[in-house]
Structure 1
Amino acid sequence: MKKLILCFVAACSTWMVSAQVKTNVTYSGNPVFPGWYADPEGVVFNKQYWIYPTYSAAYEKQVFFDAFSSPDLVHWTKHARIMDTAAVKWAKYAIWAPAIIEKDKKYYLFFGANDIQNDQQNGGIGVAVANKPQGPFKDLLGKPLVDKFYNKAQPIDQFVFQDSDKQYYLIYGGWQHCNIAKLKNDFTGFIPYEDGQTFHEITPEHYVEGPCMFKKDGKYYFMWSEGGWTGPDYCVAYAIGDSPAGPFKRIGKILQQDPAIANGAGHHSVIHLPKENKWYIIYHRRPVTETAANSRETCIEELQFDENGLIKPVTITKQGVPAHRIQ
């Protein structure tokens, strides 16, 4: 009888350990939060994950931004209407692709508006400011920061990159052209390059839109979206250069559709946790059950590198990534 009891206790202990292990492995799931959202900007503020996406809907309904925050990549809080067209008088619709940075205890949100098609139309890339990451954000300039087609680049899909020397750069462009420009320290304009030009083109092969940049081991990783945003071939490719301005030679795709899970996987951003040396890619995709162009959801996967520093192809999943609190 004593032996039977001991066996029962041992069995219960084994079950309890197994159950504990199972219940502690929690994943973000994909999408990470409900609703149609695209072009996600992932960032860390005050040991919290934040995602700032485009509200994925018809142009005339894209008049605001929502944001989402999480302590662990699993539990997300929605912050509704952190900015809308009431706070930016020149922006009427097609509020797209937010990019955000923190500087001197203020938060600067860069965005595209109005989807201008030529230099005569009003719109382009703007910047708003707030005292908190959840806003409310107010127009900084009262006008667009970039309102013309320089080097044939449509003024959309802006990304802000800070180099090791603290210089901020605006990297942007649609219509298969990408520009880089040095931002003034207060983000009210630009610092010309030594050749007198403000915008240098850095367009790599097959570039369409959605630029993103980060620095790793002294190298500059430049990423972008290829293909058509409404189709299954939308994807992410990258290059590596020795400076923010390149030159950048395309290496290959690292994120694309899986016909069993979703298509149109693209327009991404990257989060790096230096202490843990963890990397995440945040992107949007279209479920295979959906055909509408704006049926896009925000997802997250781990980003990994090989021994040569090349980015490994990303496998898109339904489970997402394990829960992780920032150290």
Structure 2
Amino acid sequence: MRIRHAIIAAGLGLAVTASGIARNPQFQGADPHAMVIGDELWVFPTGGPGGSWEADRFGAFSSRDLKTWRPRGELIRRDQIGWIKDDGARDHFLWAPGVATRGGKYYLYYSVGPQNPTPSRIGVAVADRPEGPYRDSGRPLITGGDGFEAIDPMVFTDPRSDRSYLYAGGSAGARLRVWELQPDMVTIAREVRVDQPPHFTEGAFLHERNGVYYLSYSHGRWNGPDYSVHYATAPSPTGPWRYRGAILTSDARHQGPGHHSFVRMPDGKWLIVYHRWDRRPGPAPFQGERQVAIDRVTYAPDGTIRPIRMTDADAPVLGSR
């Protein structure tokens, strides 16, 4: 499936079917944030109906079986963000959405850039349903500058403390920053100083399993063969980090996998949802479109994540392995 096919289907009120059962790639897109809502897996990618990677809006897709993807329409458009032109820059693009829920509401965090000539910013919009419509909060939540690029937001709510943390940053400055949010999810309570994890570039994601906190992130150039996913573990959502290594790297058929999310399915299985370039090795920069893929995550008895094998149409994502 390609996003342009999803646009047509959305207009007709039809579902879009990918080939095979839970086989990759799933659809064209990048920076996918995934979460289980009800009995469906939702994916919020960069781009959406009518957009591209340098999008002017966000969309979402959901599936009950990783076979049929239902376009969920338009979440928010660039022209609905009242503060977006306040910096005076000529161009503004939306990318890398992250979604969180609290108190029956949904919160869409997103990057506004590019970084130059003015700093990038992170916004947040609120909705009563995951498909929106989302209403922007009225101001940027975080503004970059001084070597920090405000991109790639991700929010994690700690099941132990019920506190919500915003993780963001990367690329040129390759700097991770973390903030605790107020319960309203649209206001910063305080910044939490954290150590910089080894090999961090961008795209931080945090998940918890059996009391262990896993900080995973992308390393390398987004359109090159060194783009990959590394991770560290910690006893809390803010560290201290213990670097564990790379778990998702280029192979003979796929390049530059990264900007991912982890999601635990209702049956207890863990998946990683990420983007990649479906091509053979070669020099950067890669051209064309990235593809969203989903693969199994397995943990060793000591809690470490085993290296993830990327699959294709000839290898079911949820097969026995």
1:213 correspondence with 2:206: yes
Deviations 1:61-92 (A, max 9, x none): 41111210111221111123221112213336
1:43 correspondence with 2:35: yes
Which residue identity is paired with 2:276? R
**1:122/1:148 CA distance change after superposition, 3 Å:** closer
How far apart, CA to CA, are the structure 1 residues paired with 2:177 and 2:120? 17
Match 2:144 to one of 148, 168, 172 = 148
How far apart, CA to CA, are the structure 1 residues paired with 2:231 and 2:37? 26
SS in structure 2 opposite 1:206?
coil
**1:89/1:123 CA distance change after superposition, 3 Å:** farther
**Are 2:120 and 2:151, in contact at CA under 8 Å, matched by a contact in 1?**
no
Task: Tell which structure's C-alpha radius of gyration is larger.
Answer: 1
How far apart, CA to CA, are the structure 1 residues paired with 2:290 and 2:120? 24
Question: Higher relative CO (CA 8 A, sep ≥ 6), structure 1 or 2?
Answer: 1
Runs of 4+ with >6 A deviation = 56-59
Q: How does 1:116-127 map to 2 (within 5 A)?
A: 116-117=115-116, 121=118, 123-127=120-124
TM normalised by structure 2 equals: 0.83
How far apart, CA to CA, are the structure 1 residues paired with 2:251 and 2:41? 26
**Are 1:98 and 1:111, in contact at CA under 8 Å, matched by a contact in 2?**
yes
1:69 correspondence with 2:62: yes
How far apart, CA to CA, are the structure 2 residues paired with 1:149 and 1:304? 38
* Residue of structure 1 in register with 2:318 after alignment: 322
- Cα deviation for residue 292 of structure 1 reads 4.4
Match 2:251 to one of 258, 274, 278 = 258
* Residue of structure 1 in register with 2:163 after alignment: 167
**Are 1:111 and 1:126, in contact at CA under 8 Å, matched by a contact in 2?**
yes
**Are 1:69 and 1:78, in contact at CA under 8 Å, matched by a contact in 2?**
yes
Q: How does 1:103-114 map to 2 (within 5 A)?
A: 103-114=102-113
Which residue identity is paired with 2:39? K
How far apart, CA to CA, are the structure 2 residues paired with 1:82 and 1:157? 18
* Residue of structure 1 in register with 2:261 after alignment: 269
1:229 correspondence with 2:222: yes
SS in structure 1 opposite 2:79?
coil
Identity, % of aligned positions: 33
* Residue of structure 2 in register with 1:12 after alignment: none
**Are 1:177 and 1:201, in contact at CA under 8 Å, matched by a contact in 2?**
no
SS in structure 1 opposite 2:142?
coil
Match 1:301 to one of 292, 295, 317 = 295
Which residue identity is paired with 1:158? P
Q: How does 1:234-253 map to 2 (within 5 A)?
A: 234-253=227-246
The gaps in structure 2 that reach 5 residues or longer are 1-19, 85-90
TM normalised by structure 1 equals: 0.81
SS in structure 1 opposite 2:262?
strand
Which residue identity is paired with 2:122? I
SS in structure 2 opposite 1:86?
helix
Deviations 1:274-327 (A, max 9, x none): x5221000000011179744510100001000111100000001035239xxxx
Between 98-107 and 235-244, report the one with greater CA deviation. Answer: 98-107
* Residue of structure 1 in register with 2:135 after alignment: 138
**Are 2:120 and 2:149, in contact at CA under 8 Å, matched by a contact in 1?**
no
**Are 1:115 and 1:156, in contact at CA under 8 Å, matched by a contact in 2?**
no
**1:69/1:78 CA distance change after superposition, 3 Å:** same
**Are 2:119 and 2:149, in contact at CA under 8 Å, matched by a contact in 1?**
no
- Cα deviation for residue 134 of structure 1 reads 1.0
| Alignment: residue pair count | 284
* Residue of structure 2 in register with 1:55 after alignment: 47
